[in-house]
Structure 1
Amino acid sequence: MKKMTKIATLTTALLMSNMALAAKEEPVKIAILMYGMKAEFVQLMEKAAKEHPAVKDGEAIITVYDGRYDPMVQNNQAETAIQTKTDAIIINPMDYEANIDVVTMANEAKIPVIVTNARLNTDKMTAEVVSDDVLGGYMEAKAVLEKMNCEGNVVIIEGPKGGSGEIQRGEGNDKAIAECGPGKIKVLERKTANWSRAEAMPLMENWLQKHRGKINGVIAQNDEMALGAIEAIKGAGLEVNSFAIAGVDGVSDAIFAVQDGEMVSILQDANAQMQGSIDIAMKSVKGDSYQPKSAIWKQYADQLQWNDGKDQRYQIPWTVVTKENAQQLLDARK
């Protein structure tokens, strides 16, 4: 009888051990809240998420939400993710202030939340994986102003009002303009086109008519809007090369435009931002046993340190797109 009891005890212990092991091996569920899915840059982020090694080997399961460019939609999607027992949340926020609610809700549910690409006006997130938008805005404006020899008139096409990209790239734009000196650069117009090529084109068409022959430079806070401005310039029968134009992101059409000498683009690494975010999310859920699997940590080894996945901010470097590196960047997306 005692022998049978020992066997039963060992069987129960073995079963419990196997159950615990199975529980440990359950894939990590990650909800990815994107502000919208229309632009190529966001699609590059989604592609990077699907290609992360932990996702490809089944260690993580991702669910991508389309926020439809509405911060309230993103907040509601965070509620859904929490209710469906997600293990971690990655958010690319639409609004610098309104989407703080996502961090608040995640913290209350004890779910790690990683902010990626854009910023939120809080330090209560688990971590953020971003690029310095003030620096990005400065770099693009500097490229425009250097071509203008720091003299003349510019228009600034802004991102969605209230988003961290519009706020911080705008700061960088203003810093570069100020460095030219008082009265050197006049900003003729400054309005949002909501990151949209389709919205930027008619905006630029109106400005070309209103300020006929007076616009020397176009500072667009992303590439899509710069490309919309280029289409408007061509549609008006003007020479694109007679304007100084720059944008941010390094989307494929902008890289082609760089090759054609039509604009400058500052590459924001969508792959690194998303894959870095997934590594941080996995570390936050699995603990010290998890080691980063993305190649980005080797790619940027001299500028980006893993630090055991415990830093609150990871800053992805910018890359200026040139005719020399353009094809290499395009080939990496195939």
Structure 2
Amino acid sequence: MALNTFTRRGLAMLAGVGIAALTIGQAAAADPVRIAAVVQSLDTEFNVLWANAANNHPLVKDGTVKLTVLDGRMDALTQSNQFDTAISEKYDAIVFVPVDIDAGNDPVQRAKDAGITVIGSNTLISNTDLYNAYIASNDVEAGKLLAKSVFDKMGGKGNVVIGEGMIGQSAQVQRLQGIEETLKDYPDIKVLEQKTANWSRAEALSLMENWLTAHAGQINGVIGENDEIAIGALEAIKAHGLDPKTIPVAGVDGVTDALLAVKRGEMMSTLQDADAQAQGAIDLALVAKQPDYKPKAAVWDVNGGKLAWEGGKQQHYSVPWIPVTLDNVDALLSMRKTQ
């Protein structure tokens, strides 16, 4: 009996090895789908979160997709050159997070002319019709959320300063549009200062220090078009010996330091879902190549269907914003630790 059991186990193991070898051989025989991700920059936390999410897509992890993440270094010309490289190397698809809303149109057109699928993600080009599909959050809505949260904390009156992102990026253009539309509903709010901080915490810190000196005791609220700008402003407020709880500050992205500041009651933030934008873009690139493809990322058809797959047939997918609150901040921080 012992011999028979051993024999059966050995045969089962050998059969398993044969099946495994066959599966590996089949996988090796099929060339991986090659996707280039041309991103703005890998110097900011949100873009790093985006890139990490893309690399954690199930088909990237198992080798079905070969993903190459290219750092655009916040330079439109660099991104244009990266497109040319992807075109010459005959990538199957490009996922694009553009630096400039207008300068990104031409490289996308060149890729399309070469028969390469282009999926937009996060920030956009002005001619979105050039994309096979795009997935992003509504930045006009973000601007409105930002402005309303600060204006309401100010009691609907007083002086506000605005730290903008890099001029010419879709997020800067559209978030400012949302802020300006909201200002129309608050006639007693005055904008004291408005200037770009280029999405940079350090630049925002310097700007805010100057504004606090030039308008001592007059600044009642701060809008940062992203969290890095809001955090820089918050650091300047603290450095001036002011209580941040008396000057409402808001940003967008849900980077780690912003989540911690929300937990301390020092600022407000809205999470931008990097997982949905990055992994969703990869699924959209794959369905463009294979119409019956089923999405593998765990970002679809969740939250009551707010990000519905719909067969991958839509051109525009809008990722919902997630306001960061004292009720959800610990859960968001726990998720960040596992990424």
TM-score, normalization: structure 2? 0.90
1:227 maps to a residue whose letter is: I
CA deviation after TM superposition for structure 1 residue 301, in Å: 4.6
1:105 aligns with 2:110: yes
How far, CA to CA, are the matches of 2:123 and 2:161 in structure 1? Answer: 23
How far, CA to CA, are the matches of 2:207 and 2:183 in structure 1? Answer: 22
How far, CA to CA, are the matches of 2:196 and 2:306 in structure 1? Answer: 33
Task: Please give the residue correspondences for 1:64-103 in structure 2 after superposition, counting only pairs within 5 Å.
Answer: 64-103=69-108
2:190 alignment partner, one of 186, 194, 217:
186
User: Which structure 2 residue ranges, 5 or more long, are not aligned?
Assistant: 1-25
1:162 alignment partner, one of 165, 168, 173:
168
Task: Please give the residue correspondences for 1:15-54 in structure 2 after superposition, counting only pairs within 5 Å.
Answer: 25-54=30-59
1:234 maps to a residue whose letter is: K
Instruction: Give the corresponding residue for 1:118.
Output: 123
CA deviation after TM superposition for structure 1 residue 300, in Å: 3.5
Instruction: Give the corresponding residue for 1:138.
Output: 144
Q: What are the Cα deviations for residues 160-202 of structure 1, in whole angstroms up to 9, with x where unaligned?
A: 0011111100011111111113xx0110000000000011000
Q: Tell me: CA distance 1:24–1:91, structure 2 relative to 1, closer, same or farther (3 Å).
A: farther
How far, CA to CA, are the matches of 2:79 and 2:172 in structure 1? Answer: 19
CA deviation after TM superposition for structure 1 residue 22, in Å: 7.3
1:280 aligns with 2:284: yes
Identical-residue share of aligned pairs (%): 49
How far, CA to CA, are the matches of 2:29 and 2:220 in structure 1? Answer: 60
1:322 aligns with 2:328: no
Q: What are the Cα deviations for residues 241-274 of structure 1, in whole angstroms up to 9, with x where unaligned?
A: 1101100001110000000001110111011100
CA deviation after TM superposition for structure 1 residue 288, in Å: 2.4
CA deviation after TM superposition for structure 1 residue 24, in Å: 7.9
CA contact (8 A) 2:302 2:308 kept: no
How far, CA to CA, are the matches of 1:225 and 1:319 in structure 2? Answer: 19
How far, CA to CA, are the matches of 1:261 and 1:53 in structure 2? Answer: 37
Instruction: Give the corresponding residue for 2:9.
Output: none
Q: What are the Cα deviations for residues 77-135 of structure 1, in whole angstroms up to 9, with x where unaligned?
A: 01001111110000100100001112101111110101100011111110110000000
Instruction: Give the corresponding residue for 1:271.
Output: 275
CA deviation after TM superposition for structure 1 residue 23, in Å: 9.3
1:134 maps to a residue whose letter is: V
Q: What are the Cα deviations for residues 257-309 of structure 1, in whole angstroms up to 9, with x where unaligned?
A: 00000111011101110010000011112x12321000101434521221211
Instruction: Give the corresponding residue for 1:16.
Output: none
Q: Tell me: CA distance 1:40–1:288, structure 2 relative to 1, closer, same or farther (3 Å).
A: same
1:229 maps to a residue whose letter is: A
1:312 alignment partner, one of 310, 315, 332:
315
| Structural RMSD (CA) | 1.2
How far, CA to CA, are the matches of 1:78 and 1:310 in structure 2? Answer: 25
How far, CA to CA, are the matches of 1:110 and 1:300 in structure 2? Answer: 35
TM-score, normalization: structure 1? 0.91
1:147 aligns with 2:182: no
Q: Tell me: CA distance 1:140–1:39, structure 2 relative to 1, closer, same or farther (3 Å).
A: same
How far, CA to CA, are the matches of 2:311 and 2:248 in structure 1? Answer: 43
